[in-house]
Structure formats: C-alpha cells, structure tokens
C-alpha cells in the first residue's frame, strides 16, 4: 500500500550505500596498507583479475602490479592515478585513491587499442563548437550528442534539479531504442539526499549491468578501524538493489551518470541509458567526466552572464526610481506615481507599501484587509531583511485564499518597530507538469521495503498555488531598494526636514561670527604669542616652571589663531564660487605626499596609491584641500603603527560617478560615533593624543557637498579607518589615463 513520501525518504536515507560490502563484477578491488606492500582487504574476484592469491595478508613484492604501485608512490597526493598494466593476456587499467582505512586500488579490464587512443582532440572540437554559443540550450544539446557519440549509449539525457530536487529532462539525444523522456519531470525521491551527496563526490558513475551479482569484500570489516570499508570514492562501488530494480523497471540494462556541479552544488546530471548491458572503458569515462566539467563551466558562465545582465537592468530601474523618490515629499506617493518602475524592480504583477496609517498599492493585489493582515504576520515573524516565497499558502494559511493574485510574495521591511513593508506580489501560475510516471514510491507496510516505480508512462499533474520563482537578480534588487528607501528617503529626508530651518539660522550666525573673528580676534592672538616670546627672550633667568607656563601661553595662542583661520575658511566656503575644471588626482596626491614629507621623514610609511586614479571634475584648489585633509589625517592617526600604511584608491561606478578612498592602519574609531565625524569641533580622540582643531573633516564634507558629492567613513578601533568621497561626473570629462585638452576649458 502507499504511504507518505517522508517514510520513503527516511527508508532511503537508511540505505548503507557508502558501505555496501561489495563491488560490481566488471572489476576487482584491493585495499593496501600505507606502504603499498600488504593487502588488507580484497574483492573475492581479485585473484582471477591479478593472477595470484590476492587476498588479505598477501604481499606484493614484484611483477607488473608492483611496478604500478611504485609509480603510485611517486604520484602527487590528490592527483588522479590511472595506469595500464599487463597481467598475462589481460590489459588492466589501475586506479587508486587514499582513505583512512588504506589505499583503495581498483582494476578494470580494457582494450589496449582504447588505452592508446586519445579522445582529447574530439574534446577540443566540442569546446570549439560550444564556446561561441550564446544559447545554453544549444550547449546542452551538443553535450548530450557528444556523450552519446563517445560512449554509444542508446539515450543520453541532461537532467536539471529544481529547488525541491525534482529533476526535469531539458536536453536529450537518442537512437530510438529507448523512449524519449525530454521535458518529463522525475521526483526527488528517485535520487535521495545521500545519493545526491555521492554524486558530488564522484562526478561519474557507471553501472554496466542492472542484473549483476555483487562481489563481496573480504574481510567485510577493515582491519584498520574495524568498520565496513567506505567505498564512497570507489568507481566499482556496488549500488543499491532498489536502484537496480528501478533501472530494470525503466527497461534499462546499463547506465552512466556524469555530475554537473556549479559552485560546489549539484546542478544536474548527464544521465546515460542503454537497453542492454554495456561497459565503458575507464579512459572514455575520464573523457566524459572532463566533458561534464566543461559543460558545468559553460552553464555557470551563461547563468552568471544572465544574472549580471538582469541585475544591471534592475539597478538602472532602481536608480531612476530612488532619484524620483528623493525629490518627492511623501515617498509612498512617489512609488505610486512611478508604479511601472516600482513593479519592474522585481518583475511583479502587484505591489503595496504599508506604513503606519498608510497603504498604497499598484497593479494586481489582494484586498486592503488581507494586505494589512499579511504585514502584521510578517512583522510578528521578525522579518528583518527579506521574505520570499512562491507558495504563500504553504507559509501562511490565509494565503491560500489569495493565490490567484499573491501566490508569490517578496517583502522587505522598512521599519523595525512597526509593521511597515514594501511588498511585491505574483499570481499563481496554473500549469501542467508531465511526470515520468506517478511520482510516488510504494512501501510494503509489512517488510517496510521500498518498491521502485514500475511505470514511467507520462503522468500529468496540474499545479496550482505556486508562482513563477523569484530570481537571484530580483531578490538583490529588492534588498538594494529597501536599503535605498531606508537610507536615502526615510532617514535623510526626515533629518533634512527637521534640520533645514536650524541650519539656515546657524549658517547666518556662523557667517556673522566668522566676520567678527577675522577682524577682532586674529590680531590679539598674534599679540599674545608675540609678547610671550618677547618675555621669554628678555628674561633668560626665569625659573623652569615659569618658562613652561610661557611656552603653554605661546602654544595656546598659536592653536587659537589656527582655529580662527580654520573657522574663517569654513564659513567663507559657502560663499565662494567654484571654478570647475578637470583635476589630475595623481598629481594632487603627489603634491600632498611632498607637502607631508616633513611629517613622514622620520617614520616608516608605506604608500599604496593607485597609479591611474580617475580624473576628477571639480574646483582644483578645493579638491586638493579636501584630499589633503584626508591624507593628513591618515598620516597623523597612523603614527603609532610601524609601518604606517596609507592606501589611496579610485574608480568609476556604473552610474558615472567617481570614487576616491583614503585608508590607514591607525587608531581607527568606533562606528557608533560615525555621525559626529563631520561636525565642527567634533573629535573622537583627545587633543593630548593628536593635535588639531576638529574642523578638517567638516571642511572636507562641505567641499564635497558643494560639488554635489558625498563622503562616508568606515573604521574599526585599533585597525584603522577609510574615508570615501564620491563625485558626480561631467560626461566625457572623467577618464582614466592621460589628460586631453578640453576646448571648452
């Protein structure tokens, strides 16, 4: 009788497929000690293959096998080993790999003509055919045909796994002897999890006959650890009886599988079937495994190219939408006004923004009440970054009632305190799936033995309640947009709205204050410093303590004078017109390095400066001042590091902006205070440790703001800091490399 699938999977997972206790009979196997001289275990047929009593305890001191093992000793660890030897009238291919239980050596009989053949020119022609292909379907079709030509199997399929480990045949090549399975789907239970793990370890698996009797390993348990021999990496490993029965039910006398692995994950299989038993020489199998690796790289290349293209397209949509929202007083209304872009961000059919007291939608969406209920559920589920599903009804029971418009849901939070979300919706995709037979396995309730499917006729199933999957590019787009909304619209717009009036008033007061300073304070501070020096010179017999006091007066006056000058420069910057032109930042950095040479000449300073910093578009004197402030800070705050490492880099972003970064390995700072860095008089280190007026970074920020750019900082206490400025580009003016004459000047 039929039982639930979870029982099937539990039983499959209990099968000891890594330690079957035997091998397939088309080869032989021995296990050697670390010296490769004594047999620890052997398959029962090893004496027939090797021509001597190859059993546990036997020594291998001479002959072709001893020569092969001598070559194995010279083999680099981890490198594949495949060597032909002749024993009597037999030509055997020897392969080996190391394990904790000993060195496993396998033998297969081969045709000497095949051994001498070279399949790799054929591989080169195959690579030439697929390299220029822009269609992954064509690559897979070529691969199926090439494997069948190499091996002679009746049918070669390329089989791709989905997120639930069901597999679909997406390419096929056959001679008509076996039925076509193209476009059919096979359930995950056909290849249980532990078998999929072995497909990752062993990229190629051959079963020459579905009706073989396994050859036992003698003794069964390893003398090294007393455990059954682990044959996970053995090509001859015997397979599950259930799998052999599955093959026979399918009408398959022999099979071979080649794993397609992408970024360490099992993407799919090249699955080969033959009606009758069929052996494939190890050299041909090695060529097929190599072909599988080539196909895997091609799949990865096509998928990454597609994802990159999609991400760039969605990023352009996001940039335009965020730019619009930044100019909109109420960002929710801005979303509705640009509803097409809002939906395009994730290629959704509907969208909603839920904030306190506000719900606005676009496209096809559920009812207002159901959207608010969904937002409350997401908030209670502590969604902190992103929520994504293509089967909402499986995650949230009320979602089953809205499957027609919201089977797929992608949601991002815009508040940690309230049930505020931006949500995208996709309707269910009603479609028919063609299975290669009914996807349920049977289990005998009395014996609890799994009985593989006996029918592979097309079995159709109508799928409902599931949307088109969300792609990786769409998920990244949603996350990036969330960050943009939180950072650029909500936080900054709110802060600017609150501070605008205060800043206007403060700026007027600062301008008046700076005027007073320039006329009334600069001269007195100079007088104080001058009179202190005169007193020191005129009274050489003063006590040491008195001279110390005078020195303190002089230093305080100089510092106060510098502070006055810095404040004056800071306040005047807002009224100074910008004289824009191209600025060679490489020359600017060279000048700054020379200007700071007196600071660095007695220290070990390692400069790491990009040789081709992009050209900036800005006011040359102000840009030099901004960069000087950043580099001077890097030199100053890394003075206790030996060596001090100052890194200056630059680059161009996709949106045309120019980026420069100045980093050091100095004292760094606590990121919780990063908001204070660019405020006037704000210092994160005591003045006794590092001199300065606390205006330099504020001045730098005002310069960058005047250029329409931005500045940011990252730091870690004791590990250094990095400051990054971004400047908008003037089209055609910002280029790497040499400066060209600008007739517009």
For residue 526 the two structure tokens come to 């100079």
Q: Which residues contact 182 (CB under 8 A, 6 or more apart)?
A: 157, 169, 170, 171, 172
415-to-359, 376, 406 alpha-carbon distances in Å? 15, 12, 23
Question: What single-letter DSSP state applies at residue 490?
Answer: I
174 forms beta bridges with 155
Of 415, 118, 139, nearest to 260 by C-alpha is: 139
User: According to the model, what pLDDT value does residue 741 have?
Assistant: 33
DSSP 18: T
- The residue with tokens 């069948």 is 148
Say if residue 573 is exposed, middle or buried (CB neighbours under 10 Å; 0-12, 13-18, 19+).
Answer: middle
Q: How far apart are CA 313 and CA 5, in angstroms?
A: 42
DSSP code of residue 228: B
Instruction: Enter the tokens of residue 727.
Output: 């400047």
Residue 158 corresponds to which tokens in the numbers above? 């390329």
pLDDT of residue 7: 39
pLDDT of 424: 96
Per-run averaged pLDDT (10 residues), the chain, 745 residues:
38 68 94 93 95 92 89 83 86 91 93 67 83 86 93 94 88 94 84 87 92 95 94 92 87 94 93 95 88 92 90 92 84 88 94 86 92 92 90 90 91 86 88 55 46 52 73 93 77 61 67 62 68 71 73 65 59 65 91 83 89 89 85 87 91 82 89 76 55 70 86 88 86 39 32
3-class SS shares of the chain: helix, strand, coil, % to 5: 40, 25, 35
Q: How far apart are CA 675 and CA 487, in angstroms?
A: 13
What is the spatial distance between Cα 40 and Cα 423, in angstroms, rounded to a whole number? 63
Q: Which domains, and CATH codes, for the chain? A: 22-114 (3.30.450.20), 119-305 (3.30.450.40), 328-428+471-494 (3.30.450.270), 577-745 (3.30.565.10)
Q: Which two tokens stand for residue 212?
A: 């073989």
d(CA 389, CA 158): 27
Quote the tokens at residue 309.
């293209």
Q: How far apart are CA 629 and CA 59, in angstroms?
A: 77
The answer to whether residues 568 and 519 touch, using CB atoms and an 8 Å cutoff, is no
Q: Which of 577, 410, 566, 548 is nearest to 477 (CA)?
A: 410
Q: What is the pLDDT of residue 357?
A: 66
Q: What is the largest CA-CA distance in the chain?
A: 115
Q: Is the separation of the CB atoms in 325 and 333 below 8 Å? A: no
Cα(663)–Cα(649) distance, rounded to whole angstroms? Answer: 9
Other beta carbons within 10 angstroms of residue 29's beta carbon come to 27
């Amino acid at each position: 009788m039929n039982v639930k699938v979870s029982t099937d999977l539990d039983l499959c997972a209990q099968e000891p497929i890594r330690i079957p206790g035997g091998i397939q009979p088309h080869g032989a196997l021995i296990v050697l000690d670390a010296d490769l001289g004594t047999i620890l275990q052997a398959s029962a047929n090893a004496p027939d293959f090797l021509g001597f009593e190859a059993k546990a305890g036997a020594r291998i001191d001479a002959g072709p096998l001893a020569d092969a093992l001598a070559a194995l000793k010279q083999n680099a660890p981890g490198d594949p080993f495949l060597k032909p030897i002749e024993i009597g009238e037999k030509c055997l291919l020897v392969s080996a790999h190391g394990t904790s239980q000993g060195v496993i050596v396998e033998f297969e009989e081969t045709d000497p003509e095949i051994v001498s053949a070279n399949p790799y020119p054929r591989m080169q022609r195959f690579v030439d055919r697929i390299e220029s292909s822009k269609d992954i379907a064509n690559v897979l079709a070529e691969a199926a045909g090439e494997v069948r030509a190499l091996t002679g199997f009746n049918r070669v399929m390329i089989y791709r796994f989905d997120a639930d480990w069901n597999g679909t045949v997406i390419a096929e090549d056959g001679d008509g002897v076996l039925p076509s399975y193209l476009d059919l789907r096979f359930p995950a239970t056909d290849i249980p999890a532990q078998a999929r793990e072995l497909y990752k370890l062993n990229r190629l698996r051959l079963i020459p006959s579905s009706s073989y009797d396994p050859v036992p390993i003698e003794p069964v348990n390893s003398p090294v650890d007393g455990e059954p021999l682990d044959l996970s990496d053995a090509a001859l490993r015997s397979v599950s009886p259930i799998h052999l029965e599955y093959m026979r039910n399918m009408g398959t006398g022999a099979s071979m599988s080649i794993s397609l692995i992408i970024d360490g994950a099992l993407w799919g299989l090249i699955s080969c079937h033959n009606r009758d038993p069929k052996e494939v020489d190890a050299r041909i199998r090695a060529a097929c495994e190599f072909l599988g690796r080539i196909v895997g790289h091609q799949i990865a290349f096509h998928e990454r190219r597609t994802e990159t293209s999609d991400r760039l397209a969605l990023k352009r949509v996001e940039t335009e939408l965020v730019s619009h929202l930044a100019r909109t007083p109420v960002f929710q209304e801005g979303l509705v006004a640009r509803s097409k872009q809002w939906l395009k961000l994730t290629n959704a059919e509907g969208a909603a923004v839920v904030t306190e007291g506000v719900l606005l939608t676009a496209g096809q969406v559920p009812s207002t009440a159901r959207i608010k209920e969904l937002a409350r559920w997401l908030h209670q589920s502590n969604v902190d970054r992103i929520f994504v599903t293509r089967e909402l009804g499986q995650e949230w029971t009320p979602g089953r009632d809205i499957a027609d418009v919201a089977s797929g849901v992608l949601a991002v939070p815009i508040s940690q305190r309230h049930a505020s979300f931006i949500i995208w919706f996709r309707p269910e995709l009603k479609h028919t799936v063609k299975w290669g037979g009914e996807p349920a396995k049977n289990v005998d309730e009395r014996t609890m033995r799994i009985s593989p499917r006996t029918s592979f006729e097309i079995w159709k199933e109508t799928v409902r309640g599931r949307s088109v999957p969300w792609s990786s590019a769409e998920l990244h787009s949603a996350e990036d947009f969330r960050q943009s909304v939180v950072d650029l619209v909500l936080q900054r717009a709110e802060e600017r709205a609150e501070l605008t009036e205060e800043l206007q008033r403060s700026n007027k007061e600062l301008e008046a204050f700076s005027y007073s300073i320039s006329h009334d304070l600069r001269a007195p501070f100079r007088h104080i410093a001058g009179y202190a020096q005169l007193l020191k010179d005129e009274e050489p017999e003063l006590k040491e303590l008195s001279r110390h006091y005078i020195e303190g007066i002089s230093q305080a006056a100089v510092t106060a004078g510098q502070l006055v000058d810095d404040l004056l420069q800071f306040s005047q910057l807002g009224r100074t017109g910008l004289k824009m032109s191209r600025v060679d930042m490489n020359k600017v950095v060279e000048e700054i390095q020379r200007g700071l040479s007196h600071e660095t000449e007695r220290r070990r300073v390692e400069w790491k400066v990009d040789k081709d910093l992009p050209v900036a578009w800005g006011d040359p004197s102000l840009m030099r001042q901004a960069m000087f402030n950043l580099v001077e800070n890097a030199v100053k705050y890394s003075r206790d590091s030996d060596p001090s490492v100052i890194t200056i880099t630059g680059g161009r972003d996709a949106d045309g902006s120019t980026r420069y970064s100045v980093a050091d390995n100095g004292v760094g700072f606590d990121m919780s205070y990063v908001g204070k860095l660019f405020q006037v008089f704000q210092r994160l280190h005591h003045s006794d440790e590092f001199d300065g007026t606390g205006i330099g970074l504020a001045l730098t920020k005002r310069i960058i703001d005047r250029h329409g750019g931005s500045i940011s900082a990252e730091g870690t206490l004791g590990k250094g800091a990095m400051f990054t400025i971004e400047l908008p580009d003037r089209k055609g003016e910002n280029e790497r490399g040499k400066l060209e004459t600008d007739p517009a000047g």
